[in-house]
């Protein structure tokens, strides 16, 4: 009888402990600078999640070393549900190969919590480009191997590797021109000093709308609700080019399952909010949620995909 009572007491205590979460503020670590897409997503989701959880969600930007500084900080934090990582699935898969000296492993050191959204990567050319479609651009590149250029926001990043993926899928040779960021790319593509940017859409949108740039396709799995008239890269004639600036929530490995599931359920509820979806849409971001299990499977797929791109392009790790 005593053992039964003791067992019941433990069950009740465990349930009370689970219900008590969260008892203090939660920290979202964003391994990117303030103001970018990841920061915008983290703040928007964190604000609504705070209301549902009854505790503040504090955003801490910890950029640097290709996102490894902030990611490492979360990997080493207590697995208690109070320090979480908001980061990209594809970008973390790329970090796996491009930063071999990192001290963490996404599959080993993190518990996937929730898929949040996808940002749109678009195929953008100068207004004066002789190409009128993706197929035209491919034909032009095949007729002039190595002469056409594509811009990226840095060697070994998602945008660079998306360009390399396009080269491989289309069977063409383009010259990579790395910049320090999209703000540096814009003047050169506007003046046709670079021939292509397969880049995150929002910064280019005003120039596309004004007619100063043209956009032929999106690299998403499906068409963008922001520009539904644009085909996917597969529809445009180059299947195998699938890339997005994605957003997801991770906890340190060892975080209790009930906490992970609570965070997943509350995040999924937050993503249904119409005002949140509208805010994301202005940034070319579309909600695409998912369970912890789906996120874990997607991370494995992204690791395999970007590993192939990096190996084929013979890009050397740092």
pLDDT over 90 (residue 288): yes
pLDDT at 19: 57
pLDDT over 70 (residue 305): yes
CA distance 23 to 294: 28
The mean pLDDT of 145-173, rounded to a whole number, is 96
pLDDT over 50 (residue 13): no
CA distance 309 to 240: 11
CA distance 4 to 127: 77
Counting residues of the chain whose pLDDT is more than 70, the rounded percentage is 94
Q: Which CATH number fits domain 121-218: 3.30.70.360, 3.90.1150.10, 3.40.50.1820, 3.40.190.10?
A: 3.40.190.10
pLDDT at 134: 98
pLDDT at 36: 85
pTM for this prediction? 0.89
The answer to whether domain 25-118+245-313 and domain 121-218 are alike in fold is yes
Contacts of 210 (CB under 8 A, 6+ apart): none
Maximum distance among all alpha carbons in the chain?
Answer: 85
CA distance 220 to 230: 11
The mean pLDDT of 167-182, rounded to a whole number, is 95
pLDDT in tens, 80-101: 999 999 999 999 999 999 999 9
Pairing outcome for strands 110-119 and 245-252: antiparallel
pLDDT category of residue 282 using cuts at 50, 70 and 90: confident
pLDDT in tens, 219-267: 999 998 888 999 999 999 999 999 999 999 999 999 999 999 999 999 9
pLDDT at 35: 86
**Average pLDDT of every residue of the chain:** 93
The sign of the dihedral angle between the CA atoms of 152, 156, 158, 164 is: positive
- Write down the CATH number for the domain with range 25-118+245-313: 3.40.190.150
Domain ranges of the chain: 25-118+245-313, 121-218
Token representation of residue 185: 């790319």
Counting residues of the chain whose pLDDT is more than 90, the rounded percentage is 84
pLDDT at 318: 59
pLDDT at 40: 93
pLDDT over 70 (residue 11): no
CA distance 241 to 223: 13
First to last CA, the chain: 63
Of 181, 121, 129, the closest CA to residue 151 belongs to: 181
């Amino acid at each position: 009888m005593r053992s039964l009572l003791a067992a019941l007491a433990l069950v009740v205590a465990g349930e009370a402990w689970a219900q008590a979460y969260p008892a203090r503020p939660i920290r979202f670590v964003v391994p990117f600078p303030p103001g970018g897409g990841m920061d915008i997503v983290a703040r928007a989701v964190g604000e609504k999640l705070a209301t549902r959880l009854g505790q503040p969600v504090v955003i801490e930007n910890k950029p640097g070393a290709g996102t490894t500084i902030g990611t490492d900080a979360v990997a080493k934090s207590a697995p208690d549900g109070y320090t979480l990582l908001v980061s990209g699935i594809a970008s973390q898969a790329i970090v796996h190969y491009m930063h071999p000296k990192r001290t963490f492993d996404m599959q080993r050191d993190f518990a996937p919590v929730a898929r949040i959204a996808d940002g749109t990567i678009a195929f953008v050319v100068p207004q004066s480009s002789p190409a009128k479609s993706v197929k035209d651009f491919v034909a032009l590149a095949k007729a002039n191997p190595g002469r056409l250029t594509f811009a990226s926001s840095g060697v070994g990043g998602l945008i660079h590797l998306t360009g390399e993926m396009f080269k491989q899928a289309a069977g063409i040779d383009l010259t990579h021109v790395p910049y320090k960021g999209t703000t540096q790319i814009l003047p050169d593509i506007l003046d046709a000093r670079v021939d292509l940017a397969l880049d995150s859409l929002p910064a280019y949108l005003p120039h596309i709308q004004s007619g100063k740039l043209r956009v032929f396709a999106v690299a998403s799995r499906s068409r963008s609700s922001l520009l539904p008239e644009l085909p996917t890269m597969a529809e445009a004639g180059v299947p195998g080019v699938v890339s997005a600036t994605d957003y997801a929530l991770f906890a340190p490995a060892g975080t209790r399952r009930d906490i992970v599931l609570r965070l997943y359920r509350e995040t999924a509820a937050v993503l249904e909010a119409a005002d949140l979806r509208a805010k994301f849409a202005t940034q070319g971001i579309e909600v695409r949620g998912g369970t912890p299990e789906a996120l874990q499977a997607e991370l494995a797929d992204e690791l395999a995909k970007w590993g192939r791109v990096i190996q084929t392009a013979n890009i050397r790790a740092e």
